[in-house]
Every structure is written in C-alpha cells, then in structure tokens.
C-alpha cells in the first residue's frame, strides 16, 4: 500500500511538472505575415537637437495601448543604444533609460538624448510588452544629437 501511495505521489509530481513546463513554453503571439515596423522620422544619419521627435510607422497591423488585447495590434518600444539581440524576446521587454515603452499607443515621442551618436530601433510588443514571433523590429538607425 505504501509503495502505491508513493507511486501515485510521484506521478502527481511528474504531471504537475509537465503542466508547468507546458505553461512556461513560448506563448508569444504570431506576427502577421508582411507586417513591418519603421521610423517615419528621424531618418538614418539625421542630425538633430534634443529632444528628438521620433515618429513611428507600422504596416500590416494596428496600434493599441498596453493592456488592451486586440487581434493584430501592439504598441511601440524604442531601443536606445542597445542591441535587440541582448534582450530575451520571449519575455516582456524591460523598462529602462535604454528601452522606452510607449504603452499609451503613442505613434510619436520626444526623446531626450545626450549630445553624440545614438542608435535607435523600434520593437513592437503585445498587450503585455512581449515581442511578437518573429519579433517585429525596425531597421536600426543612427542619429547624431547636437
């Protein structure tokens, strides 16, 4: 009887572990075919004074605020002087001075940047700030702030 109880206990633990592992798998939303993200402005190589007015473009999808789950929508994040490859794209994007969240559904922003060269890139996140699969990212642009 004792062995049967232990066996059932181990089976329950195993089943729970499989369930947790399945839940932890990548649950990112699929990016629609042909969707693209880009900077309307500034252009690559632009020279500007701070604050830099950045305008975000999105094709093949719509924009919705963070927390609002609508099909084929997301909201913008701007990466400043950081390589997207250093971020875990299966988790919500962190919020920092180098990863700006625009969860209100904004399509433009004033970026306060120090003088010098800066690399900018857009990443679209779902209602929970998680990038799509595959991640929707703009081309990297480099600007110079005077």
Of 9, 76, 47, the closest CA to residue 144 belongs to 47
Measured CA to CA, the distance from residue 99 to residue 93 in angstroms comes to 8
Q: Is residue 115 part of a domain?
A: yes
On whether residue 2 sits in a domain, the answer given is no
Question: Contact 123/57 with Cβ under 8 angstroms?
Answer: no
Span between the terminal Cα atoms of the chain, in Å: 79
Domain with residue 121: its CATH number is 2.60.40.10
Strand partners, 121: 79
The total of other beta-carbon atoms located within 10 Å of residue 10's CB is 10
Q: Is residue 14 situated within a structural domain?
A: no
40 lies in some domain? yes
Per-residue pLDDT of the chain (146 residues; tens, 9 = 90+): 565 555 444 545 444 444 444 444 558 999 999 999 999 999 999 999 999 999 999 999 999 999 999 999 999 999 999 999 899 999 999 999 999 999 999 999 999 999 999 999 999 999 999 999 999 999 999 999 99
Q: How many domains does the chain have?
A: 1
Residue 60 falls within a domain, yes or no?
A: yes
Look at the pTM and tell me if it is higher than 0.75: yes
Q: Is residue 21 part of a domain?
A: no
């Amino acid at each position: 009887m004792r062995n049967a109880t232990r066996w059932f206990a181990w089976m329950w633990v195993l089943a729970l572990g499989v369930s947790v592992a399945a839940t932890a798998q990548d649950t990112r939303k699929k990016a629609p075919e042909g969707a693209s993200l880009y900077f309307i402005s500034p252009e690559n190589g632009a020279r500007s004074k701070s604050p830099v007015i950045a305008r975000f473009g999105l094709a093949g999808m719509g924009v919705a605020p963070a927390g609002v789950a609508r099909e084929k929508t997301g909201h913008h994040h701007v990466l400043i002087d950081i390589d997207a490859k250093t971020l875990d794209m299966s988790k919500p994007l962190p919020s920092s001075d180098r990863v700006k969240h625009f969860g209100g559904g904004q399509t433009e922003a004033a970026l306060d940047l120090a003088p010098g060269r800066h690399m900018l890139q857009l990443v679209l996140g779902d209602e929970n700030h998680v990038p799509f699969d595959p991640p929707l990212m703009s081309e990297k642009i480099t600007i110079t702030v005077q």
